[in-house]
Every structure is written in structure tokens, then in C-alpha cells.
Amino acid sequence: AQKVTQAQTEISVVEKEDVTLDCVYETRDTTYYLFWYKQPPSGELVFLIRRNSFDEQNEISGRYSWNFQKSTSSFNFTITASQVVDSAVYFCALRIGGSARQLTFGSGTQLTVLP
Amino acid sequence: EPEVTQTPSHQVTQMGQEVILRCVPISNHLYFYWYRQILGQKVEFLVSFYNNEISEKSEIFDDQFSVERPDGSNFTLKIRSTKLEDSAMYFCASSTGTGYQETQYFGPGTRLLVL
């Protein structure tokens, strides 16, 4: 069975600080996909990034960056120069390869960015 | 940009009543999903639907639940006899079904409250 662990329940930072959200996953499958979703206070789930297990290249998108390390089964998310609008719950999710498509979510990290 | 839509945004019902939650997936997507999120908890997979039949379902998706694609655009989740513990946010999602490039895009959710 798959499992996603987000050990940080809540993080609070002051605006302009950098913050890293941790995600550790467990799966026996060699092909899998990792995702990050953002849930702002309005409640919707917003897709941020997908990473395939065969692509360990790290990615940067503006102030966001993701560090995928298969050796430690981690897929961490860093926000550089955080802003108040980054305040949200962030979920890491895992999908195994093949015909199964269900996403297994972590418990989420509540990020609060203070002005 | 195409998006998944859901109606209603909020629904209040009495225990034992039937509810139908509606979703319009992104038009060229082939896979449809329902997830739920009990307040303050992680997002949980309920069911996936492809080619007019259920392709996967979780233990949560028991005989009280059913899904249907009644026409070419809508995708519905029916709860036959609601229980207090069905109170949650229900998210619909859709994806293209293309495999490793695939991402599930979520609707804004329906908040269901069972009294």
C-alpha cells in the first residue's frame, strides 16, 4: 500500500522568509507520480506540480522549487521569499503507475505567512 | 482555461435523505473521480470512472454511494441515505487518461452538511 507523510502539521513564517515543506512517500512500485496541491482558505485544490519517478530533475517555477530525491523517498517543496498569499494548506500526493489512478494524499501542511 | 465545475457549492440535508452532487469535468478528459475531505483531515479517494463504469473504488465507497454519467457532460455522486459522518467536502476531479503526463484537476468542491 502507498503512504504519504507530511510530518509538519503547521508552519508559520514571516513574509519574505524561505520555507520548505517536507513530503516523504512509501511505495513498492518502481513507476509512480508525485504531486503537490495547494488548498487556499477558499477550499479548492489547486495543482502545482507533477513529478514522474523516472525524472529526478529538480524544478523551479518562479518562487517555487521542488527537490525530488528517490534515495530518501522525499519530494520537498520550497517557497522562496514567501508572501501572505502563499498562506494555505499544501498537500503532497502519490499515484502509482499502471491502470490505477487514485491519488494518495498526505495529511497536509498548514502554512501561515505573517506580514 | 478549462476547469472542473461542481454544484451546489453547499448542501445541507437531514440524516437519511438522498443527495446528488454534480460535476462537469473538463470536456476532453476521459477519467473522472470523486474524493472527499472531512473537515481538517486529508483528502481521501472514493471512486474513479472511465468508459461509463467504475474503474477503482475505495473501502469508503460502499453500497450507499453510486456514480453516474447521465449525459455527455455531467458526472454525479449519489449518497442514498446520508449519515452524520458523510458530512465533508466532496471534490470532483478529471484527467485525460494519457498516462505518465496525466494530472487530476479538481473542482471547487461541494460542502455537504448532514444534520
B102·A91 Cβ contact <8 A? no
For the segment B26-37, the average pLDDT, to the nearest whole number, is 95
Query: Residue A105: enclosing H or E segment and its boundaries?
Result: strand A104-105
Q: Distance from B16 to chain A by nearest Cα, in Å?
A: 26
Percent of chain B with pLDDT over 70: 98
Q: Does A30 touch chain B (CB under 8 A)?
A: no
Confidence of residue B98 (pLDDT cuts 50, 70, 90): confident
Q: What is the pLDDT of residue A38?
A: 97
Query: Distance of CA B6 to CAs A44, A98, B11, B58, B99, Å?
Result: 11, 28, 12, 21, 25
pLDDT reported for residue A78? 97
Question: Partners of A69 in the beta sheet?
Answer: A74
Nearest to B74 by CA among B11, B12, B32, B19: B32
Nearest to B56 among A43, A93, A102 (CB): A102
pLDDT tens, residue order, chain A (115 aa):
899 999 999 999 999 999 999 999 999 999 999 999 999 999 999 999 999 998 888 888 899 999 999 999 999 999 999 999 999 999 999 999 888 889 999 999 999 999 9
